[in-house]
Chain A
Amino acid sequence: AQSVAQPEDQVNVAEGNPLTVKCTYSVSGNPYLFWYVQYPNRGLQFLLKYITGDNLVKGSYGFEAEFNKSQTSFHLKKPSALVSDSALYFCAVRLRNTGGFKTIFGAGTRLFVKA
């Protein structure tokens, strides 16, 4: 089955330290991969996506993600975490579906950045 996995329910990091939020996927064909962020009581916001080309994708708020085809991973990274980065992060994959395409979301990883 085609799926997205976020193995960590929660990631804790100190402000100023690098952060990584993990994502692995299982899809047939070329994957279209996304990261979204959700702040409390808000809708999801798009951060970045990988379609093709350079494996390192840069996105909003200083975030980046590295596509690794051999490891089927798309980990989200930031060199220096901010307290304001604390939020719920979702990895997602775009799949072909009956009548078009649909997006499959991972279960989410809660990031806590401590001052």
Chain B
Amino acid sequence: TQLLEQSPQFLSIQEGENLTVYCNSSSVFSSLQWYRQEPGEGPVLLVTVVTGGEVKKLKRLTFQFGDARKDSSLHITAAQPGDTGLYLCAGVFWAGSYQLTFGKGTKLSVIP
């Protein structure tokens, strides 16, 4: 299993602030996904990045895949209470067949 390190583990910010969550590995991934999970529910896919250096935007969320395809970041602009949740990154890699590994997640709380 390839290891994905997410940081920070916990993040508590005021509404309106910006934040960045990081997902790092020493391994190369063929693609990387970001999910958001709310309490009592299953994770929901936000985005998939495939190309090194790729940047994708989803409203106030900006996702970036590192040039070497070993790391990714999620930046939220002007956070809102509705952004509260657990953010998970997941990397797809080849190990004889395609495999998927998850980071442990970043728990975000946005305080009104």
Whether chain B is bound by chain A comes out as no
Chain A positions within 8 Å of B, measured between CB atoms, are none
